[in-house]
């Protein structure tokens, strides 16, 4: 059943897909475990869609921002379609979780938002990668280019093996390149420093992404080649 579900999600356009049973979330912060969202949840399924490598070459602030946003919409579409297909195939309930917004948890003072669930931590629990010093998810095949979606289900499925870490020992390129020194040695990003530097709007009112330097500079941005 697990491999059939994985193939269903991959056939809808995901590049990677992994599974985690609830014991993987024992140490999740209060309010941010799958069972806090849905007590009957037995398994989390994370999947990812990779940005094209060429988008990391875009110097134009609009191009990267636009397709980054479109990728989030594609991930939510895959999640919704997959939930409906899995429910049609099995006696199960499946809950898709928004991959970006909306969410409630927002600290205006530090400009720090928390998704309904942390997509990055869900991906790590499901074996899709490990966090780099940049705090971006690093996947061995797709580097730091994955946008992650999550499905929760009351089906009991086994966890996948954790992924290896591909963050390079001794490398500090992402930390050094950050123009506002937002990336901390403990791997956290100070959002109040990053957000004002990164997100904007042009004179015509279109959203822009002015900085993705920590993503572009990473030697592992395309994965292990």
Positions that interact with ligand SF4 (CB under 6 A): 132-134, 167-168, 171-174, 177-178, 180, 182-183, 189, 194, 197-198, 211-214, 217-220
CB of 193 to ligand SF4, least distance (A): 7
H or E element in which residue 105 lies? strand 105-107
How far is Cα 29 from Cα 88, in angstroms, rounded to an integer?
Answer: 33
Shortest-Cβ-distance residue relative to ligand SF4: 132
Q: Residue 186, class by beta-carbon neighbours within 10 Å (0-12 exposed, 13-18 middle, 19+ buried)?
A: exposed
Shorter beta-carbon distance to ligand SF4: residue 95 or 171: 171
What span, in angstroms and rounded, lies between the C-alpha atoms of 188 and 157? 31
Residue with tokens 């191009």: 63
User: What is the nearest approach in angstroms of ligand SF4 to the Cβ of residue 10?
Assistant: 26
CA 197 – CA 211 distance, rounded (Å): 7
d(CA 140, CA 188): 21
How far apart (Å, rounded) are the C-alpha atoms in residues 119 and 98? 9
Shortest spacing between CB 223 and ligand SF4, in angstroms: 11
Closer to ligand SF4 at the Cβ: 83 or 119?
119
Q: Which is nearer to ligand SF4, 84 or 201 (CB)?
A: 201
Nearer residue to ligand SF4 within complex by CB, 73 or 181: 181
Closer residue to ligand SF4, CB minimum distance, 80 or 168: 168
Write down the least CB distance from residue 132 to ligand SF4, Å: 3
CB of 183 to ligand SF4, least distance (A): 5
């Amino acid at each position: 059943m697990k491999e059939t579900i994985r193939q269903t999600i991959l056939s809808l356009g995901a590049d990677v897909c992994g599974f985690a049973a609830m014991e993987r979330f024992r140490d999740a912060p209060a309010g941010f475990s799958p069972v806090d969202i849905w007590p009957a949840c037995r398994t989390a399924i994370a999947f990812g869609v990779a940005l094209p490598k060429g988008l990391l070459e875009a110097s134009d602030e609009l191009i990267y921002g636009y397709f980054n946003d479109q990728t989030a919409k594609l991930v939510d579409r895959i999640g919704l379609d997959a939930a409906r297909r899995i429910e049609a195939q099995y006696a199960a309930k499946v809950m898709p979780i928004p991959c970006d917004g909306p969410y409630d948890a927002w600290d205006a003072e530090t400009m720090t938002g928390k998704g309904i669930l942390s997509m990055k931590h869900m991906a790590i629990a499901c074996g899709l990668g490990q966090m780099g010093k940049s705090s971006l998810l690093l996947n061995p095949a797709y580097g730091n280019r994955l946008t992650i979606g999550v499905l929760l289900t009351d089906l009991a499925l086994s966890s996948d093996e954790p992924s290896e870490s591909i963050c390079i020992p001794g490398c500090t390129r992402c930390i050094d390149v950050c123009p506002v020194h937002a990336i901390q040695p403990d791997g956290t990003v100070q959002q109040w420093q990053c957000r004002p530097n990164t997100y904007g709007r042009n004179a015509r009112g279109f959203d822009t992404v002015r900085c993705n330097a920590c993503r572009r500079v990473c030697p592992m941005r395309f994965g292990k080649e």
